[in-house]
Amino acid sequence: MSDAGTLTRSDLSDAIHNEIGLSRAECSDLVEAILTQMGDALAKGQNVKISGFGTFILRDKTQRIGRNPKTGVEVPIAPRRVLTFRASQKMRERIAKAS
């Protein structure tokens, strides 16, 4: 894993290379293909569920009124689509054990 504590595409590719033994180029292509499929599904409005890991969920938020905390002026916040992640129960248990 990178020094910054972030798992990168390169880290995923290296892990697949070490675990399965495919060439580095094939591993990189595999990671890219998976991420492309996930991105395409989300772009089409589909949720992405990875069993034992979690679910990427798209939510549509309606327009609402927000407030500028500095000035107190009310400002309309436009409707938008947001992406959320909900970890599976197995993943939550793994995270709880690691801390």
Residues 77 and 90 in one domain: yes
User: In this structure, what CATH number is given to the domain that contains residue 89?
Assistant: 4.10.520.10
Give me the torsion for CA of 7, 51, 90, 44, rounded to 10°. Answer: 60
Residues 80 and 35 in one domain: no
pTM for the model stands at 0.78
Number of Cβ within a 10 Å radius of residue 28: 18
Residues 15 and 52 in one domain: no
CB 56 within 8 A of CB 44: no
Residues 96 and 54 in one domain: yes
Residues 39 and 51 in one domain: no
Residues 38 and 75 in one domain: no
Q: Which helix (H) or strand (E) holds 61?
A: strand 54-61
Q: Provide the residue-wise pLDDT of the chain in tens; the chain has 99 residues.
A: 555 689 999 999 999 999 998 999 999 999 999 999 999 999 999 999 999 999 999 999 999 999 999 999 999 999 999 999 999 999 999 999 887
Structural domains of the chain, count: 2
Residues 51 and 39 in one domain: no
Distance CA 7, CA 80 (A): 28
Residues 57 and 94 in one domain: yes
What is the span of the domain harbouring residue 1? 1-44
Helix residue spans in 3-88 (DSSP H) = 9-20, 24-43
